[in-house]
Structure 1
Amino acid sequence: MFIAPMLLEKREEPFDDDRYVFEPKIDGHRLVISLSGGRLNMYTRHGNEVTRQYPELHDVPTRSDIVLDGEVACVNSVTGAIEFESVMERFKLAKEARITEAARTRPVHFFAFDVLSVAGRDVRNLPLTERKAILNESITNNPYFSRVLSVEGTGRSLFDVVQARRLEGIVAKRKDSAYVSRRSAAWLKVINYEYADVYIAGWRKEEFGWLAQDESGRGVGIVELAVPVAHRKAFYSVARALVTGEDRAFVYVEPRVKVRVRFRNWTSGGRLRTPEFVKFIV
């Protein structure tokens, strides 16, 4: 049974509040696991079934029918780091033999943070604290499943730990929140961004996006998020005099305009992951 997941709103700074529990934000992809009458189904946040992708998760450590919400991720066995690119590689595998081999050599881990139904009982209207208690009683930790750590009230100190370990961020959840299948201000995310200064080397023709490169001239991604309209206009008023050429997809300019961006992390290929504009550097 697929239940559309509860989604997070965004907050810029960590905070302390006794009305909330705080959790580390796991850098994987959302997964709803449904076990009913011996039948197991796994769904992404958009309702796409991915049960065959993760055979190592087929033995859910529970004694009853259950619907779990959580994040599936890949944990580096040597460093302990959570690797987003690795779980995306697992997600994209198509051939059965490759999936089976990857489950053995590059296993995923399911981090459970909520329970939506247990033993046929819908518990979504219960407060989060009661659902957490049910979750703790309903599943046991093992090499493929674990319950997400949560702390009460102290979001700032947890964020400090997240920064020190270079994790994705934290999630703040109202203790009294019911589970709703939509975005809700009762659940907030605070991202642990990295920052970099890059040069704009061109722009995309069909849809907005600035080509970014580092000081060596190497392309590092496309900046398309959080750029105000006024800043776009200011850039184009200057950049049109710097055009050096174009092709079907891009217009290229001399990389003289410098901007600061924030982003999730550097990819293994040396690219900015989801860069957002912060400001011009003058």
Structure 2
Amino acid sequence: MDWIEPMEPILRPDVVTGCQWIHQVKWDGVRILCRVENGKLRLFTKNRRERTGFYPELDEVPGLLKATSAWLDGEIIVLDQDQKPSFYHVLTRERLGNPARASLYARQNPVRYIVFDILSLDGKDLREHPLRQRKAILEERLMPGRNVAITDDFSDGDALFDLMKQKGWEGIVSKRADSPYTGGKNHRDWYKTKLQKKLLAAVCGLSMKAGFPNALLLGIRPDREWIYIGKASSGLTQEHFRLLRENMSYMASESSPFPAVPSGTEDIVWFKPALTCWVSFLEWTHDGVLRHPKILGFNRSSPDEANGTEYVE
């Protein structure tokens, strides 16, 4: 089996325009490449981590595919109660370490596989074919299923981006219709435009440097346990840090509120989760922390409200 390096969209602040571009929903999930060979299914993350057996909902894929072998590219998502893709729900599935428990998790947080590309078919490499042709082959050869769908294409990127903003979803991906499939980011054919998001987080600790605070440790509690979502210092002033230092003794805790102490959190003063703040961020990493977080301001909301609900600014 020859590994195929996934093609990755390049971040840009605005929506690319022109008749040569197609636009797709950017699904808030986990990238999964799917290999079908003689009725057998293998699943891989974009970093080549094998996840075969962890998503029993996708066992239907070989039966939906009119081919002996193929490589498919797509995103697994989990919808929340409002039918909105939830990164944290899908991350719960992706963090599962024992495939024996996959059936239980599949009932609690079932995934859907949103397919957007086909890279090979019956031994033939399709990566040099233009995207529009690959997409036509995909729609001809892969039938939709209970947990499998093919993403839609849109011609108006601005309208799709506005719709994503109304829904509070992640953003869009814009792809040149005649583009080949080029592994990595060494191309100018796929772009992603993302909405700025925010959430309410609890301050669960302070990282210290030479005896002074230099970043907040943030957490959310979507279920019963606190989850670490990263450090943030952007947006804080020296006055904020002074007040936090003066009040450390009132908020300090002898232990971390997180079930497992995050790596890279040495020299920490842990807090009882009581103080909340609004945090803007660009996206989640696959380790479940915020990318480019910025503190927008402290808040009087209860830490019970720091449940991971995301809002679009």
Name the TM-score, length of structure 1 as normaliser: 0.77
AA in 2 matched with 1:210:
A
Q: Distance in 2 between matches of 1:35 and 1:136?
A: 16
Please state if 1:276 is matched with 2:277. Answer: no
* Partners of 2:74 and 2:214 in 1: CA distance: 32
TM superposition shift of 1:175: 1.1
- Counterpart CA distance in 2 for 1:209 and 1:32 is 40
> How many residue pairs end up in the alignment?
261
* Contact 2:281-2:294 within 8 A present in 1 as well: no
Which residue number in structure 1 is paired with residue 178 of structure 2?
176
User: Does structure 1 conserve the Cα–Cα contact (< 8 Å) formed by 2:200 and 2:278?
Assistant: yes
What is residue 7 of structure 2 aligned with on the other side?
6
Partner of 1:126: 129
Code of the residue aligned with 1:126 in structure 2: it is H
The percentage of counterpart residues that share the same residue type is: 28
Find the aligned partners of 2:199 and 2:107 in 1 and give their Cα distance. Answer: 37
1:133 alignment partner, SS class: helix
Counterpart residue number, 1:50 = 51
Alignment-derived partner of residue 75 in structure 1: 79
CA spacing shift, 1:100–1:190, aligned 2, 3 Å: same
> Amino acid of the residue matched to residue 216 of structure 2?
L
1:95 to 1:193, Cα distance in 2 relative to 1, 3 A:
same
CA gap 1:172/1:91 in 2 versus in 1, 3 angstroms = same
Name the CA distance, whole Å, in 1 between partners of 2:74 and 2:121.
Answer: 15
SS in 1 for 2:181: coil
Which residue identity lines up with residue 174 of structure 2 in the other structure? Answer: A
* Structure 2 counterparts to residues 154-169 of structure 1, below 5 A: 154-169=156-171
User: Which residue does the alignment assign to 2:32?
Assistant: 31
Q: CA deviation at 1:264?
A: 4.9
1:255 is matched with which residue?
A: none
Q: What CA deviation, in whole Å up to 9, does each residue of 1:238-264 have, x standing for no partner?
A: 957984469952479xxxxxx995325
Structure 1 pair 37/156, CA: closer, same or farther in 2 (3 Å)? same
Q: Is the 8 A contact 2:216 2:231 kept in 1?
A: yes
> Alpha-carbon deviation of 1:150?
1.1
**Distance (Å, rounded) in 2 between the aligned partners of 1:265 and 1:6:** 19
Distance across 2 between alignment mates of 1:142 and 1:276: 37
SS state at 1:151 partner: coil
Q: Is the 8 A contact 1:211 1:221 kept in 2?
A: no
The amino acid that maps onto 1:16 is T
Residues 76 and 114, structure 2, Cα contact 8 Å, conserved in 1: yes
CA distance 1:75–1:221, change in 2 (3 Å): closer
Q: Distance in 1 between matches of 2:17 and 2:269?
A: 46
Structure 1 unaligned blocks of 5 or more: 253-258
Computed over aligned residues only, the root mean square deviation of the Cα atoms, in angstroms, reads 3.9
Deviation at 1:209, TM superposition (A): 6.8
Partner of 1:262: 280
Gaps of 5+ in 2: 220-226, 253-265, 271-276, 298-313
**Could you tell me how far apart the structure 1 residues matched to 2:198 and 2:102 are?**
35
> Per-residue deviation at 1:100?
1.4
CA deviation profile, 1:145-199 (whole Å, cap 9, x unmatched): 00011112x1110001111111111001111211011113311111111257999
Task: Give CA-to-partner distance per residue, 1:19-78, whole Å, 9 cap, x none.
Answer: 2110010011000000112332110000000011101102211121111000011123x4
Which residue of structure 2 aligns with residue 89 of structure 1? Answer: 92
CA contact (8 A) 2:218 2:232 kept: no
Q: Is the 8 A contact 1:264 1:272 kept in 2?
A: no
**3-state DSSP class of the match of 1:117?**
strand
Distance 1:63 1:97 in 2: 29
Moved over 6 A (4+): 196-201
SS of equivalent to 2:15: coil
Higher strand share: 1
Question: Residue in 2 aligned with 1:256?
Answer: none
Structure 2 length-normalised TM? 0.70
